[in-house]
Amino acid sequence: MEFGLNSSWSQFISNPSSLLNNVFDKNASNAEAFSNPIMFHFALKEELRKCLEADVTRLLTIPSLNACENVESIPNRSIVRFRCMIQDMFDPEIAVVSAKQIGESGNECFKYSLYSDTLDDCNSIDISENNKMIDRFKFYCTKIPGENDWVQLSDCENEMQCSVNDSKRRLESPNDSMKKLKTENDISPEEPTSNVEPNKADHSQDSVEMPYAVVKCYESLSQSVKLNDKIEVIGVFDLNGEINAEDVETASDQLLTQLTLGEGSNAKPRKSMPIIHAITVNRLNHNNPLLTNEIWENLSKSKQFFIKTKKELKALLSKALFGDDLAAEYLILALISKVCNRRDVIAIGSLPINFCNLTSLQTNPDYLKRLFSLLSSFTTNSHYLNLTLQNLNNNQLIPKKDYEENKLSSTILQISSDTLLFVDETKMTPGQLSNAGLNNFSAVKDIVHKQQINYDFGFQRIPFDTDANVVVFSERSSLLSIDCKVSLQFAEAMANVFDVINDYLSDSLLRDIRIYLTLCKHVEYELSKEMQTFVEHDLVSIMNEASQSSAKLSIDDLHLLMTLSRLFATSEGESSCSVASWKNVKQLEQSRRSRL
């Protein structure tokens, strides 16, 4: 069974129904295909996979929903791709995918309805239990929350270079350099400021800035994807796929609509809900468009690239942190931290850091917003959380199930992995937290300590794992009780520091930093047996010295040492901790603790 994608790629992109219908018509009398219509889906999926493997540039010729200013500009029933996060998961719906059709002469043939919500020529369809129905799985997907502008600009540039039909889609080319940093006025609506509104981060279908779609899958993905995962979908775009039940006229249409849209649904489908009938759904390890497979192969083993880029990044961050090299080192380690394992409530690999001693901010109230903008220009996803008494008491930070709308109301704390959660605690004032405020504060604290958040489903709270890079800035020790605290030391003046950094950043350096931060998270790391023995003996010595000197040393401190050693090694492109790296980490910790 072949669809001819290699020879008719452009036709497949613009009008996939024509190729599908050709194959369907050839199997109009195929009883085997009628009894197992899902075979068409797996055949098309495999052929598409082979086409993309044979020519990787073909992926960029598929129009991207992320780069589109208006979904209505995308031709209906064309092929699209969508880089997104699974924001909600619905119960499966029952869909008719093959049915018997009675011709004018009374002859019987088979009709197929893959990648569509309706069957053609409904009046001639034999509505019977002989028709084949499947469970079709539905996800509500949005643009990855907090995805920074440069990610989308890179996606636009790639697509404009490889577009096969520019007349169908008009993309605005960025006029400014990619290296331009956000200023205070450039902070996007997704990034809450001191006047954040309740449910500001709710990614609803009314949002112009947040692309969204219902993704319908023809195979179960329960073992490969979960809520909040980043995925890339390729499928048939259908802007008018769902209609309201009251608009259906005939009894046969009503039955087909019930079977197609799903039985037992609590909420009526909305008109013009963008739908993607998925052909392929791939879980993304990252959403950095600069880190292609070719670059991965070239740089992942290049220790020189890691060392050189880290040196440049450390110099920039040190400049931004008042000339504090130690703080810059710890900030790099926080940015590349990643949960690598979980044991009970311990997220191994996570490194939340509290940067304190920011009392001088009274003379520069915009400093943290400018710092956040700088970090956002390096990272793929970021959120600015202004932790104030008012925001905690008045906002809904915990994702909550809305049973009337039958959807999960998203908040700023519903984030995908690899998201920088930048917490500003400098504006916290004395006062009393309400019950809502206490719940919100506990949710933030759970992310910091457990990399987990409990979603509110009304009758119960269900925990969901997170994997955020948490950095907290405060005047004194954070209220979130973070073990790794770095007290900033002011070695340099901070006047116009971000303008100086912006002028220094070249496009090539900025590109290297963006690739470096993502690469570090995916360096394969394993502690050798020799180093395990060395570290074990050294930890025993450290504990003995601490007991003799009456110094406070806990299990958490030892765990922090192990986490830092892993991150320090991967920050320099090493797949295992060396003796030199271990000694460097011990020196870092000694310097950090001496400031407290």
Whichever domain contains 495, its CATH number is 3.40.50.300
Q: Tell me: do 273 and 314 sit in the same domain.
A: no
Q: Is 317 a member of any domain?
A: yes
For residues 571 and 502, membership in a common domain is answered with no
* Token digits of residue 183: 């200023």
The answer to the question of residue 188 being in a domain is: no
The answer to whether residue 134 sits within a structural domain is yes
* CB-based contact 63:83 (threshold 8 Å): no
**Alpha-carbon torsion angle 463, 469, 474, 476, nearest 10:** 80
543 and 477 share one domain: no
Report how many helices (DSSP H) and strands (DSSP E) the chain contains, helices first: 17, 18
413 and 553 both lie in a single domain: no
Compute the distance between CA of residue 256 and CA of residue 430 in angstroms, rounded to an integer: 60
One domain for residues 540 and 492: no
121 or 262: whose pLDDT is higher? Answer: 121
Residue 247 has what pLDDT? 39
Summarize pLDDT for 388-425 with one digit per residue, the tens.
Answer: 999 999 999 999 999 888 889 989 999 999 999 999 99
Sequence-separated contacts (24+) of 48-57 with Cβ below 8 Å: 48/5, 48/234, 48/279, 48/280, 49/280, 51/5, 51/6, 51/9, 54/6, 56/292, 56/293, 57/162
Q: Are residues 323 and 402 in the same domain?
A: yes
Residues 98 and 237 in one domain: yes
Band (pLDDT 50/70/90 cuts) for residue 553 is confident
Reply yes or no on whether the pLDDT at 466 is more than 90: yes
Render pLDDT for 187-206 as a digit per residue (tens, 0 to 9).
333 344 333 333 344 444 43
Query: Where among 489, 514, 539 does a domain terminate?
Result: 514
Domain termination residue (choose one: 470, 496, 514): 514
Contact yes or no for 451/350 (Cβ under 8 A): yes
Residue 174 lies in a domain: no
Q: Residue 270: left if φ>0, alpha if ψ -120 to 50, beta else—which one?
A: beta
**In this structure, are residues 201 and 142 in contact, taking their beta carbons and an 8 Å threshold?**
no
Number of domains present in the structure of the chain? 3
Given a contact cutoff of 8 angstroms between Cβ atoms, the answer to whether 359 and 401 are in contact is no
> Of the given ranges (228-232, 310-314, 556-560), which has the lowest mean pLDDT?
556-560
Residue 128's domain spans which residues? 60-149+210-243+269-283
- pLDDT score, position 358: 87
Residues 313 and 393 in one domain: yes
410-413-419-423 Cα dihedral, nearest 10 degrees: 140
The pLDDT, as a whole number, for residue 161 is 59
- Model confidence, pTM: 0.86
Residue 257 lies in a domain: no
> Residue 356: inside a domain, yes or no?
yes
- 259, part of any domain: no
- β 468-473/353-356 pair status: parallel
Give yes or no: residues 480 and 528 share one domain: no
Q: What is the CATH number of the domain that holds 114?
A: 2.40.50.140
Encode pLDDT of 340-387 as tens digits: 999 888 899 999 999 999 876 656 778 999 999 999 999 999 999 999
Q: Looking at the structure, tell me whether residues 540 and 509 fall in a common domain.
A: no
Q: What is the pLDDT of residue 141?
A: 95
Considering the domain architecture, whether residues 426 and 502 belong to the same structural domain is answered as: yes
Both 382 and 316 in a single domain?
yes
User: Would 538 be classed as within a structural domain?
Assistant: yes
